């Protein structure tokens, strides 16, 4: 039974039980436990479709102090399965806040648990790898029942999650970033290639975030967002200047239809992929992907650009990676992670196609990778300027 004063439990497949206090919605929810090292930006994390099926542990000790506002959602709903924090802030003090984190999670039907030793839990995940778990507020369930439920949960491998979070129909996006001052250092407004609507980009929605669309629009793109299952022929019939392959949840090997689509687009139009889109492009190149021990989740991952030696601090959210040893000789690895050495970026040596494993849109996170949008624009401009054969 739950100890007095404790109203929620986290049960892990390794047999451990973690007691805490409930917030958000009541009930029992399974998920894949991952930790996120971001200090801020929990609202963007909660609404990132890439967290579908996962229960997120925040390593920052206090969460909730800025509340929830109308502007920072990266999608129209909460996608993760549960939320774990060390200390839930007793008040929301940001001037933009319209409600508390607890109220908002409850309204979206997602459970949270506070009072957990998140440092100890994170160390366990780092040492043993990602674990399946269950958050529960139900006092009628025994510890053993919850542990068994965690063990019996199917997990996320081999499941097409992108197909569950993608849009139902194509739509247009033209709105740029509102707070332009955040990105002023890149001076994209002085570039003639970034005038509004100059380039038409078709963006595949594998779980796309709104700030990606804002950044593409800010860099002069008129964006048509299409569902993940859109065939290459339909995309090419839209006559895009480039195709963007978005972030998204789950196992890239579980979306073979997307791999075939991207393979058909290679060489026909410039391609830029991020996160799941990067992994799908790697499979389309002929490479393979593999599962990381505990993934990369957070806004402080150091990535090195091999051609220049430049180091970027970047935002990540992925459990899988491209195996660079399986890529063909026509593909160059351009970025590596300085923590574990995994492939973080690649480029085709001949065809106009490149990708990165992380999130250049900085929602949340640093802005070091924002110039990659300008690189995509330059690639589209270069292809457009070539004479027709």
One pLDDT digit (tens) per residue for the chain, 389 residues: 344 346 999 999 999 999 999 999 999 999 999 999 999 899 999 999 999 999 999 999 999 999 999 999 999 899 999 999 999 999 898 999 999 999 999 999 999 999 999 999 999 999 999 999 999 999 999 999 999 999 999 999 999 999 999 999 999 999 888 755 455 544 444 455 556 678 999 999 999 999 999 999 999 999 999 999 999 999 999 999 999 999 999 999 999 999 999 999 999 999 999 999 999 999 999 999 999 999 999 999 999 999 999 999 999 999 999 999 999 999 999 999 999 999 999 999 999 999 999 999 988 888 899 999 999 999 999 998 876 65
HSE on the CB side for 142, CA within 13 Å?
A: 3
Q: Is 361 a catalytic residue?
A: yes
Spatial distance between the Cα atoms of 277 and 262, rounded to a whole number of angstroms: 9
Phi, psi of 242 (to 5 degrees): -160, 165
Q: Is 275 a catalytic residue?
A: yes
Name the catalytic one among 13, 312, 344, 361: 361
Instruction: Tell me the β-bridge partners of 223.
Output: 173, 201
Kind of pairing between the strands at 353-356 and 171-173:
unpaired
Q: Is 172 a catalytic residue?
A: no
Q: Which domains does the chain possess?
A: 8-152 (3.50.30.20), 162-384 (3.40.50.880)
Kind of pairing between the strands at 353-356 and 343-348:
antiparallel
Name the catalytic one among 278, 335, 359, 367: 359
Spatial distance between the Cα atoms of 160 and 278, rounded to a whole number of angstroms: 16
Instruction: Tell me the β-bridge partners of 111.
Output: 24
Name the catalytic one among 74, 221, 275, 278: 275
């Amino acid at each position: 039974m739950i100890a007095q004063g404790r109203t929620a439990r986290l049960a892990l497949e390794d047999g451990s039980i973690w007691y805490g206090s409930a917030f958000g919605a009541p009930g029992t929810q399974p998920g894949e436990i991952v930790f996120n090292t971001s200090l801020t930006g929990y609202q963007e994390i909660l609404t990132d479709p890439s967290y579908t099926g996962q229960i997120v542990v925040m390593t920052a000790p206090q969460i909730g102090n800025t509340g929830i506002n109308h502007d920072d959602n990266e999608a129209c709903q909460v996608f993760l399965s549960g939320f774990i924090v060390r200390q839930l802030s007793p008040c929301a003090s940001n001037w933009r806040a319209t409600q508390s984190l607890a109220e908002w999670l409850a309204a979206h039907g997602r459970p949270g648990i506070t009072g957990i030793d998140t440092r100890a839990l994170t160390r366990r995940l780092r040492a043993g790898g990602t674990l399946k778990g269950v958050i529960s507020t139900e006092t009628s369930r025994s510890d053993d029942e919850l542990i068994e439920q965690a063990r019996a949960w199917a997990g996320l491998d081999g499941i097409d999650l992108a197909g569950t979070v993608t849009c139902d129909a194509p739509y247009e996006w033209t709105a740029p970033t509102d707070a332009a001052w955040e990105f002023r250092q890149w001076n994209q407004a002085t570039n003639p290639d970034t005038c509004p609507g100059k380039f038409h980009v078709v963006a595949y929605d594998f779980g796309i975030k709104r700030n990606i669309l804002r950044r593409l629009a800010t860099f002069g793109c008129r964006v048509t967002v299409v569902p993940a299952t859109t065939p290459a022929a339909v995309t090419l019939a839209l006559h895009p200047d480039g195709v963007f392959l978005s972030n998204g949840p789950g196992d890239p090997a579980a979306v073979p239809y997307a791999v075939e689509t991207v393979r058909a687009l290679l060489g026909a139009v410039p391609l830029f992929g991020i996160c799941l889109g990067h992994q799908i492009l790697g499979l389309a190149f002929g490479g393979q992907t593999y599962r990381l021990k505990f993934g990369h989740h957070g806004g402080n991952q150091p990535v090195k650009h091999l051609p220049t030696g430049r180091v970027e601090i970047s935002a990540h959210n992925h459990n899988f990676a491209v195996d660079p040893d399986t890529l063909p000789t026509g593909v160059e690895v351009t970025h590596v992670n300085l923590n574990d050495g995994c492939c973080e970026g690649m480029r085709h040596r001949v065809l106009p196609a490149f990708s990165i494993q992380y999130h250049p849109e900085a929602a949340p996170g640093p802005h070091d990778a924002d110039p990659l949008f300008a690189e995509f624009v330059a690639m589209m401009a270069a292809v457009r300027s070539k004479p027709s054969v």
